[in-house]
């Protein structure tokens, strides 16, 4: 998840630590006497497992964040963006880009490298972490002992009085529980771990330098503080910087994994890919002779990266093509826009739809450019939709500047950490003459939430969509010795109305909740439910806000200004009606109608603060969305017998905030305290309503904690006073390389909102079990119409004989076989099925796949993707098989085919 972060700074690791820290503080805290300003962001960070530290982008239907990455290569330039003469100036970025020079000698090898790195990291954490009372010497020492126990198998660690005791091979060493002592302890452990790794070349560990081990060790320590703090390797820091500069070296193509094949989502304008004729939907079969089928996207990116000016050869298969094409591309510096815009279809109004992918260095300028361009083409803007859905955040100063475009004065955001700072809107280029709607969803985070919250609090915009991610903290990036970096949480931010969105998010004025048509009562409200800050491990808790938030939510959702509509999700891409955009369009139209009826001038336009949100119910929900909500409720009742029609009245959340015991919720683990990796963990739940009023729109959910945790939800409906409902819910225990713990939250949601007091937490110890290990070998058999020599001739028919062996120590059950044609019309594949239901250890089975080689095309090889999966396997076995073809076929193709593009 991209986060608001501050400017890279450097902590001097010299011996005079106190003087260095004092100097560091003085330089960091310089502020203008004329007005207080925010600490600027310079880098965005990725959601663990979602965006892999690269530029953010809109998720497309059918793709997960891990399946979609832009193909770029190297950072361009070392500094920030230059000031622009157009649009708001980047004043925050200008002010806080001063860096302290860190002098280091030699490489990061040896104990001195680990010592310098540990001193820099621990000093920064103590002096700048948001909660000073959580980073005392005692607490850092306890965390250090915890991570040493977990990361190092050769040490026993404990705290004895005022010292950390490390025992190795029966020999104990004591380190004082103070800054110097903890630095010595980290250096000693890192050096020993590096030495052990170097002596064991068979170990799956490339970190053999003490500084690398120190970085890993202290990364685990700061990760215990909160999910957004981390110690970054030089490569990770380099990629993080790339994500904020808006320019990359690469091919200029957005790619994803579809049907296990690397597929072009879209080429970027004016890029090597677009000039070479690469189109959306093209499948990339090979990169520089490297087969791509079944490879992880992160690994494939390494083959697409390289120095600008170098060449890449890609083999591309187009739908309907006779054969793949070999296309030569030269890597270039790619300028990536964070903003796209279009005209919304409306018979009467000219509405600008601006999609903000992330908040990078040029976002405010790009939005301003989009508005000016729209005016030149279409005239005045009747209304604007700012789409922040799936926007993971980015630069804090850009969030401020974007908000400032639409406000004339007032607070935009404030932060509170070791000090409090406030950012105000200023006089400048203020676009206030038209209605503004902001779209958010559960993947809108951080900087996106700052913009949505500020515009909502000032009544400048109506917010539509679903509650946002709830990341209410600010990170800064501190440069470390040897090109590493520390990303550290330094503050919490608050909206103009003094709201903290930590673990809560921005609640939209109009909550549009899709209802998915499925055959079973599972995840009917979407699989991305509850993937928010409140379910991350080691999150910053706002326990004092739990009751206050329930009260505020109860009052807000019962006000006339706000509404919620459950709508049936589109059944197909052909009927892909975006109900959030439709709601925004109706809101703009309603505002214009109000202005016209009352004869108001253009500056008022029916969107004045205090009146805009009333349009949600008065002009929108009571018309189209009231009917859509009825359709969704009728479907739930007819399909599953679930009563979902009655909206919540005031008091439901309030009663739970006052007395959670009005609802009795018990959960029993049918698995016990241990779970088998790859198996199902089952839980039995019972829910009793002791409240004198019915509980409405009730659901029970399971959420595995962490960034990539699984979510399952079962809709229950209404529960009358005194009524008890029960059921069970299960989740697949994730595969893990070693025995480790697994945290699960099971809770109750009312009206699609989790109620914190009704959450039950389980901590399971996963046990690794033997798994099958499949292997594939293939050969050409049963050749007819050609020379039977194991080589395909033009017009020849044959079988691809695929032998599958279980080389593991556990059986493989429920085997599935999948094949993909990677060679176009030059080869035809028949049907082949895998009939065996279980493959014992050491057992062999086979599949004969009919193949017809048509030949006569430029590329000699025939590529076929084969995939075999089993229930016990962590992931399918994917293999790209290359079939040999006759030399004649290749020569004929060279003479007759114009398919090669250079």
Q: What is the pTM of this model?
A: 0.77
Of 219, 221, 240, give the one whose Cα is nearest residue 230. Answer: 219
CA 47 centroid distance within chain:
4
According to the model, what pLDDT value does residue 877 have?
93
Of 780, 838, 783, 779, give the one whose Cα is nearest residue 806. Answer: 838
Secondary structure of 669-705 as H, E, C letters: ECCCCEEECCCEEEEEEEEEECCCCCEEEEEEEEEEC
Of 772, 879, 876, 776, give the one whose Cα is nearest residue 816. Answer: 876
CA 398 centroid distance within chain:
20
According to the model, what pLDDT value does residue 866 have?
94
Q: Are strands 332-335 and 383-387 parallel, antiparallel or unpaired?
A: unpaired
* Residues 853, 11: Cα–Cα separation, whole Å: 64
Of 570, 427, 417, 582, give the one whose Cα is nearest residue 490. Answer: 417
* Residues 624, 580: Cα–Cα separation, whole Å: 12
According to the model, what pLDDT value does residue 486 have?
93
Query: Which helix (H) or strand (E) covers residue 821, if one does?
Result: strand 816-821
SS3 state at 399: helix
Task: Find out whether 538 and 577 touch, Cβ atoms under 8 Å.
Answer: no
According to the model, what pLDDT value does residue 884 have?
87
- Cα torsion 457, 459, 461, 463: sign: positive
Q: Where do runs of H (alpha helix) occur along 178-233?
A: 179-199, 210-223
* Residues 391, 398: Cα–Cα separation, whole Å: 13
Query: Which helix (H) or strand (E) covers residue 256, if one does?
Result: strand 247-258
* Residues 865, 158: Cα–Cα separation, whole Å: 52
SS3 state at 146: helix
SS3 state at 804: strand
Q: Give the Cβ contact number of residue 442 at 10 Å.
A: 20
Q: Name, in order, each residue with C-beta under 8 angstroms of 162's C-beta and a sequence gap of 6 or more.
A: 176, 177, 178
According to the model, what pLDDT value does residue 737 have?
59
Q: Name, in order, each residue with C-beta under 8 angstroms of 847's C-beta and a sequence gap of 6 or more.
A: 801, 802, 804, 817, 832, 833, 834
* Residues 674, 764: Cα–Cα separation, whole Å: 5
* Residues 672, 82: Cα–Cα separation, whole Å: 59
| Angle between helix 210-223 and 111-128 (nearest 10) | 20
| Angle between helix 210-223 and 137-151 (nearest 10) | 120
* Residues 671, 371: Cα–Cα separation, whole Å: 57
724, burial (CB in 10 Å: exposed 0-12, middle 13-18, buried 19+):
exposed
Ramachandran region, residue 200 (left: φ > 0; alpha: ψ -120 to 50; beta: rest): beta
pLDDT in tens, 322-377: 889 999 999 888 777 889 999 998 888 999 999 999 898 889 999 999 999 999 99
From first CA to last CA, the distance across the chain in angstroms is 38
Secondary structure of 425-493 as H, E, C letters: CCCCCCCCCCCEEEEECCCCCCHHHHHHHHHHHCCCEEEEECCCCCCCEEEEEEECHHHCEEEEEEEEE
Of 338, 374, 149, give the one whose Cα is nearest residue 247. Answer: 338
* Residues 376, 129: Cα–Cα separation, whole Å: 48
Q: Give the Cβ contact number of residue 429 at 10 Å.
A: 13
According to the model, what pLDDT value does residue 385 have?
96
Q: Name, in order, each residue with C-beta under 8 angstroms of 356's C-beta and a sequence gap of 6 or more.
A: 338, 339, 363, 367, 386, 387, 388, 391, 402, 448
SS3 state at 508: coil
* Residues 656, 429: Cα–Cα separation, whole Å: 46
Catalytic (active-site) positions: 446, 457, 471
pLDDT in tens, 96-105: 322 333 334 3
Task: Find out whether 257 and 315 touch, Cβ atoms under 8 Å.
Answer: no
- Cα torsion 378, 379, 385, 390: sign: positive
| DSSP-assigned beta bridge partners for residue 479 | 10, 485
CA 43 centroid distance within chain:
15
Length of the chain: 902
| DSSP-assigned beta bridge partners for residue 377 | none
According to the model, what pLDDT value does residue 242 have?
65
Query: What share of residues in the chain are helix, strand, coil (percent, to 5)?
Result: 25, 30, 40
| Long-range Cβ pairs for the range 174-179 (8 Å, 24+) | 177/137, 177/138, 177/141, 178/137, 179/17, 179/119, 179/122, 179/123, 179/126, 179/137
* Residues 58, 392: Cα–Cα separation, whole Å: 10
Complete edge-to-edge strand list for the sheet that includes strand 156-160: 156-160, 163-168, 171-176
SS3 state at 638: helix
According to the model, what pLDDT value does residue 702 have?
93
pLDDT in tens, 230-285: 998 887 787 777 666 655 668 888 888 888 899 998 888 888 999 999 999 999 99
According to the model, what pLDDT value does residue 836 have?
85
Q: Name, in order, each residue with C-beta under 8 angstroms of 596's C-beta and a sequence gap of 6 or more.
A: none
The 8-class DSSP code of residue 901 comes to B
According to the model, what pLDDT value does residue 576 have?
55
Backbone phi, psi, residue 115, to 5°: -65, -45
Q: Are strands 261-267 and 283-287 parallel, antiparallel or unpaired?
A: antiparallel
Kindly list the distances between the CA atom of residue 858 and the CA atoms of 115, 325, 528, 899, in Å, as whole numbers in the listed order: 59, 8, 45, 7
**Rg of the chain on CA atoms, in Å:** 29
Query: Which helix (H) or strand (E) covers residue 664, if one does?
Result: strand 663-669
Query: Which helix (H) or strand (E) covers residue 149, if one does?
Result: helix 137-151
Backbone phi, psi, residue 640, to 5°: -125, 0
SS3 state at 366: helix
* Residues 482, 113: Cα–Cα separation, whole Å: 8
Q: Name, in order, each residue with C-beta under 8 angstroms of 571's C-beta and a sequence gap of 6 or more.
A: 517
According to the model, what pLDDT value does residue 246 have?
52
* Residues 417, 421: Cα–Cα separation, whole Å: 9
Mean pLDDT by 10 residues, the chain (902 residues): 47 40 38 33 30 25 28 26 28 31 45 88 95 94 92 86 89 93 92 79 60 91 93 81 64 86 87 91 92 86 80 91 90 83 91 93 93 93 94 90 93 93 88 90 93 93 91 90 90 91 87 90 86 81 55 58 77 64 87 70 54 62 74 93 71 59 90 75 94 88 73 93 95 70 86 84 80 92 89 91 93 92 91 87 94 75 91 88 74 32 28
Q: Are strands 383-387 and 827-829 parallel, antiparallel or unpaired?
A: unpaired
Query: Which helix (H) or strand (E) covers residue 582, if one does?
Result: helix 579-597
Query: Which helix (H) or strand (E) covers residue 378, if one does?
Result: helix 363-378
């Amino acid at each position: 998840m991209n986060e608001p972060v501050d400017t890279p700074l450097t902590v001097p690791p010299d011996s005079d630590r106190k003087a260095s820290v004092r100097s560091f503080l003085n330089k960091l805290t310089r502020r203008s006497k004329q007005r207080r300003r925010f600490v600027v962001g310079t880098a965005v960070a990725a959601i663990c497992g979602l965006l892999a530290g690269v530029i953010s982008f809109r998720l497309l239907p059918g793709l997960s964040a891990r399946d979609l990455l832009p193909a770029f290569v190297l950072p361009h330039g070392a500094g920030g963006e230059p000031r622009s003469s157009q649009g708001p100036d980047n004043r925050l970025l200008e002010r806080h880009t001063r860096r302290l020079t860190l002098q280091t000698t030699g490489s990061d090898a040896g104990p001195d490298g680990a010592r310098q790195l540990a001193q820099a990291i621990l000093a920064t954490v103590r002096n700048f972490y948001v909660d000073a009372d959580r980073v005392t010497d005692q607490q850092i020492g306890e965390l250090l002992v915890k991570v040493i126990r977990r990361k190092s198998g050769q040490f026993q660690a404990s705290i004895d009085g005022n010292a950390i005791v490390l025992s190795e091979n029966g020999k104990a060493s004591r380190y004082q529980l103070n800054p110097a002592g903890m630095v010595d302890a980290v250096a000693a452990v890192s050096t020993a771990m590096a030495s052990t790794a170097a002596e064991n070349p068979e170990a799956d560990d490339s970190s053999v330098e003490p500084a690398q081990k120190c970085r890993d060790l202290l990364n685990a320590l700061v990760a215990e503080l909160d999910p957004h703090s981390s110690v970054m390797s030089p490569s990770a820091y380099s990629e993080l910087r790339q994500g904020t500069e808006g320019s990359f070296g690469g091919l200029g193509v957005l790619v994803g994994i579809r049907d296990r094949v690397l597929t072009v989502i879209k080429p970027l304008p004016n890029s090597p890919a677009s000039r070479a004729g690469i189109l959306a939907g093209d499948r990339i079969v090979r990169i520089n002779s490297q087969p791509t089928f079944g490879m992880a996207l992160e690994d494939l990116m390494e083959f697409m990266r390289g120095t600008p000016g170098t060449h890449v050869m890609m083999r591309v298969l187009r739908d309907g093509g006779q054969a793949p094409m070999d296309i030569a591309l030269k890597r270039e510096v790619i300028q990536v826009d964070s903003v796209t815009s279009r005209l919304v279809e409306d018979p009467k109004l000219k509405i600008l739809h601006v999609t903000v992918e992330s908040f990078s260095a040029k976002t405010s300028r790009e939005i301003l450019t989009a508005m000016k361009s729209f005016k030149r083409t279409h005239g005045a803007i009747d209304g604007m939709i700012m789409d922040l859905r799936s926007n993971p955040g980015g630069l804090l100063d850009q969030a401020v500047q974007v908000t400032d475009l639409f406000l004339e004065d007032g607070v935009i955001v404030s932060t509170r950490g070791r000090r409090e700072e406030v950012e105000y809107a200023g006089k400048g280029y203020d676009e206030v003459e038209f209605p503004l709607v902001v779209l958010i969803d559960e993947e809108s985070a951080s900087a996106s939430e700052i913009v949505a919250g500020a515009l909502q609090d000032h009544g400048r915009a109506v917010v539509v969509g679903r509650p946002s991610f709830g990341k209410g903290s600010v990170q800064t990036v501190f440069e470390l010795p040897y090109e590493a970096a520390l990303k550290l949480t330094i503050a919490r931010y608050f909206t103009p109305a003094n709201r903290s969105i930590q673990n809560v998010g921005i609640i939209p004025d109009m909550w549009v909740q899709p209802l998915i048509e499925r055959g079973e009562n599972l995840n009917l409200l979407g699989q991305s439910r509850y993937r928010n800050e409140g379910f991350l491990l080691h999150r910053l808790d706002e326990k004092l806000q739990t009751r206050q938030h329930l009260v505020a939510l109860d009052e807000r959702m019962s006000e006339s200004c706000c509404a919620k509509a459950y709508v049936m999700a589109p059944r197909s891409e052909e009927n892909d009606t975006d109900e959030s955009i439709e709601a925004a369009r109706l809101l703009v139209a309603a505002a214009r109608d109000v202005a016209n009826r009352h004869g108001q001038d253009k500056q008022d336009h029916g969107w004045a603060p205090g009146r805009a949100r009333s349009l949600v119910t008065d002009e929108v929900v009571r018309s189209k969305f009231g009917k859509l909500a009825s359709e969704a409720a009728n479907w739930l009742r007819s399909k599953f017998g679930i009563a979902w029609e009655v909206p919540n009245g005031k008091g439901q959340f309030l009663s739970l905030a006052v007395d959670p015991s009005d609802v009795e919720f018990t959960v029993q683990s049918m698995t016990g305290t241990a779970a088998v990796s790859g198996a199902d963990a089952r839980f039995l739940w019972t829910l009793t309503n002791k409240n004198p009023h019915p509980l409405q729109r009730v659901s029970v959910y399971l959420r595995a904690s962490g960034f990539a945790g699984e979510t399952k939800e079962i809709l229950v409906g209404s529960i009358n006073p005194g009524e008890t409902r029960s059921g069970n819910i299960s989740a697949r225990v994730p595969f893990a390389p070693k025995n480790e713990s697994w945290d699960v939250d099971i809770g109750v949601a009312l009206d699609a909102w989790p109620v914190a007091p009704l959450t039950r937490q389980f901590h399971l110890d996963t046990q690794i079990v033997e798994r099958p290990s499949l292997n594939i070998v293939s050969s050409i058999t049963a050749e007819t119409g050609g020379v039977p020599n194991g080589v395909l001739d033009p017009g020849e028919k044959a079988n691809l004989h695929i032998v599958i062996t279980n080389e593991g120590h556990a059986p493989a059950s429920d085997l599935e076989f999948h094949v993909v044609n990677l060679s176009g019309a030059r080869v035809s594949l028949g049907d082949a099925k895998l009939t065996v239901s279980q493959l014992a250890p050491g057992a062999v089975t086979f599949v004969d796949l009919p193949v017809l080689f048509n030949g006569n095309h430029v590329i000699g090889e025939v590529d076929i993707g084969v995939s075999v999966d089993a229930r016990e396997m962590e992931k399918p076995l994917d293999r790209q098989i290359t079939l040999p073809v006759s030399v004649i076929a290749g020569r004929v193709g060279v003479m007759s085919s114009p398919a090669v593009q250079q």
